[in-house]
Chains A and B, each alone.
Chain A
Amino acid sequence: MSLLKLKNVSKHYQIGDITIKALDDLSFEIKKGEFVAVMGQSGSGKSTFLQVASMLAEPSSGSIFLKGKNVTNFDEKNRAHLRNKEIGFVFQQFNLLAKTSALDNVALPLLYSGDCEALRIKKAKEMLDRVGLSDRTKNAPNQLSGGQQQRVAIARALVNNPSIIFADEPTGNLDSKSGAEIQKLFKKLHQEGKTIIMVTHEKYIAKMAKRLINLKDGKIVSDKKI
């Protein structure tokens, strides 16, 4: 059974008289444990695809099924709960809360799932340990290197044990050395059985995935095993 399924999904942006078809009648399916890399030219709709698939943005038309359940028409509150429980997100710009410790940043999703403080701290510590930052729990983002910040962001994405992890160019803002570290981390997560969808520009990073999707003008132009 598919974990996540997009059926004839379109996402249109209306700017003045012009309609931009960021996603154009796109269908897609992913099974548990898969690692999918998404590639395509700038503006081809990769980020939009990720946002719609991860419940951050609503599609203009089409349906989305998560674990067999139609979640297309969920209201904002239920979508928030869904993102909180089922989805982990890693952004290109890390998106950590400024002046807030690594530990608090990682614990943030748990705050919204209603865990008690002791449990939040315990889980967040575990996750930081898992990404190799157990000695940086008190550091604020500006006291961490780019690679370390992205590892904090990954720990945050993992902390609620989500079904799928979405990553939008997670190495895009990093030098090649820290990029490689992050790459290794994703590889490890995949080996542990995590389901991952990752947008990337780099061929060599895409290679660690088992499946590669190419987007063009909001459509999937190729979808192959590698």
Chain B
Amino acid sequence: MEIKSIFITAIKALWVNKTRSVLTMLGVIIGVSSVVLLTSIGTGLQLYIEQQFADLGANTLFVVPGNPFGDGGGLGNHETAFIESAQGKIKRRYLDKILRDHRDIITDGAATGYSTGEVKYKNETKKITLLGVTANYETVNNTEAVKGKWFTKNDEERSKRVVMLGPKVAEELFGKIDPVNKQIKLEGQNYRVAGVLETKGGFGGPSFDNYIFLPLNTLFDDFNSELIDNFSFKIKDETLINEAKKRIENTLLGENLDKDEFSVFDQTQLLETISSILGILTTGLGAIAAISLVVGGIGIMNIMLVSVTERTREIGLRKALGATPDVILVQFLFEAALLSVAGGMTGVGIAYV
């Protein structure tokens, strides 16, 4: 008997028992669509984050206290604790020194410190993260104002009480009202809203959209803090990144800082760390989905087994009429393969939609 007629026989057998065939496919459909969905969510997230970093520009260097990229590479509890203790070691004036000493290759630099506080506008109050930044944060970190204008270097040097609002904060405090030049209260003090920033988004964790930005000096003065969270530097050219990194390190070491008390890194390093975390996440999601695929597969096996038992009469009859064991086996293999392929493709289709 030709393979083609066995194939047609298998299709007919599936067609005759449509309900059973569809039920069997269901397991595979669910399994495959969840594998495709979950892994593509993971990969999508990774791509999204990489895109976000690409926006930052490849010629940016960061300085943070402590050594988060220590031997393990990840941010363990041990390292975070160490960053806390090393936090006070980086001083505002180092920024100016680095900018002055390496003017030839570093075009600009911004510093960030943070605190938390309560913000109040009319009757709306909210606990909030306050980010103290130098005025050039706008250009160094590519964060533009969509309403109003960034505060100036002058504002920063004089510790003026002006703020930039993250878009979420603006929305929550002001709703439809234009916040520019309105007065808000931070921990009881009056501040003028200079502008609202563009949306940066965030991935579940803290988002810049929820922050209030104010001049670094204002933060230091009003919130009794001296802590620098990070420096970011714009380098003239991508090719000079390593040179700049070395020079910044040397300058900081020259200021009596220990090797462990700060780190200089570019975004590729940061990206690698985040990517590796996301990679694990994607694998995890994939594994979960794979489990449902296995369950789907077992479902198919189970139903095929049931149907073989159920169909012993049919098999017996076919054999009595001259079907060899090979022919019967091939017919059932075709049926199973057809169900898996059809189920798999439907699953991919569903996931795609």
What CA separation (Å) do A104 and B318 show in the bound complex?
13
For A83, give its contact among B5, B322, B326 (CB under 8 Å). B322
Q: Which residue of A lies closest to B9 (CB)?
A: A111
Determine if B16 and A83 form an interchain contact, defined as CB atoms under 8 angstroms apart. Answer: no
| Shortest CB distance B77–A (Å) | 66
Contacts of A112 in B (CB 8 A): 1, 318, 321-324, 327
Interface of A is mostly: helix
Contacts of A108 in B (CB 8 A): 318, 321
Number of interface residues of B (CB under 8 A): 20
Determine if B1 and A89 form an interchain contact, defined as CB atoms under 8 angstroms apart. Answer: no
Contacts of A95 in B (CB 8 A): 313, 317, 320
- Whether B55 sits at the interface, judged by CB under 8 Å, is no
Q: From known contacts A100-B16, A112-B1, infer whether A83 and B324 are also in contact, taking CB-CB under 8 Å.
A: no
Contacts of B5 in A (CB 8 A): 111, 114, 117
What CA separation (Å) do A160 and B322 show in the bound complex?
11
What CA separation (Å) do A45 and B233 show in the bound complex?
98
Contacts of A80 in B (CB 8 A): 319, 322-325
- Whether A81 sits at the interface, judged by CB under 8 Å, is yes
Interface of B is mostly: helix
Determine if A76 and B324 form an interchain contact, defined as CB atoms under 8 angstroms apart. Answer: yes
- Whether B2 sits at the interface, judged by CB under 8 Å, is yes
Contacts of B326 in A (CB 8 A): 77
- Whether A97 sits at the interface, judged by CB under 8 Å, is yes
Contact residues of A between 42 and 91, Cβ < 8 Å to B: 56, 76-77, 80-81, 83-85, 89
| Shortest CB distance B331–A (Å) | 11
Determine if A89 and B320 form an interchain contact, defined as CB atoms under 8 angstroms apart. Answer: yes
For B321, give its contact among A76, A84, A117 (CB under 8 Å). A84
What CA separation (Å) do A81 and B17 show in the bound complex?
28
- Whether B157 sits at the interface, judged by CB under 8 Å, is no
Q: Which residue of A lies closest to B322 (CB)?
A: A84
Contacts of B16 in A (CB 8 A): 97-100
What CA separation (Å) do A111 and B323 show in the bound complex?
9
Q: Which residue of B lies closest to A84 (CB)?
A: B322
- Whether A218 sits at the interface, judged by CB under 8 Å, is no
Q: Which bucket holds chain A's interface residue count?
A: 20 to 34
What CA separation (Å) do A83 and B324 show in the bound complex?
10
| Shortest CB distance B230–A (Å) | 72
Q: From known contacts A98-B16, A112-B327, infer whether A156 and B321 are also in contact, taking CB-CB under 8 Å.
A: yes
Determine if B321 and A114 form an interchain contact, defined as CB atoms under 8 angstroms apart. Answer: no
Contact residues of B between 271 and 322, Cβ < 8 Å to A: 313-314, 317-322
Q: Which residue of B lies closest to A112 (CB)?
A: B322
Contact residues of B between 1 and 30, Cβ < 8 Å to A: 1-2, 5, 9, 12, 16-17
- Whether A113 sits at the interface, judged by CB under 8 Å, is yes
What CA separation (Å) do A80 and B322 show in the bound complex?
4
Q: From known contacts A97-B314, A111-B9, infer whether A83 and B1 are also in contact, taking CB-CB under 8 Å.
A: no
Determine if A77 and B322 form an interchain contact, defined as CB atoms under 8 angstroms apart. Answer: no
- Whether A109 sits at the interface, judged by CB under 8 Å, is yes
- The CB with the most chain B CB atoms within 10 A, among A83, A104, A111, is that of A111
What CA separation (Å) do A80 and B324 show in the bound complex?
5
| Shortest CB distance A180–B (Å) | 26
Given contacts A85-B322, A114-B2, 4 further A-B contacts (CB under 8 A): A56-B320, A76-B324, A97-B314, A112-B327
| 27 contacting pairs across A/B (C-beta < 8 A) | A56-B320, A76-B324, A76-B325, A77-B324, A77-B325, A80-B324, A80-B325, A81-B322, A81-B324, A83-B319, A83-B320, A89-B320, A89-B321, A95-B313, A95-B320, A97-B16, A97-B314, A98-B16, A99-B16, A104-B12, A108-B321, A112-B1, A112-B322, A112-B327, A117-B5, A156-B321, A160-B322
7 A-B pairs with the lowest CB-CB distances in the bound complex, closest first: A84-B322, A112-B322, A80-B324, A99-B16, A109-B321, A77-B324, A112-B323
Which B residues have a C-beta under 8 Å from some C-beta of A?
A: 1-2, 5, 9, 12, 16-17, 313-314, 317-327
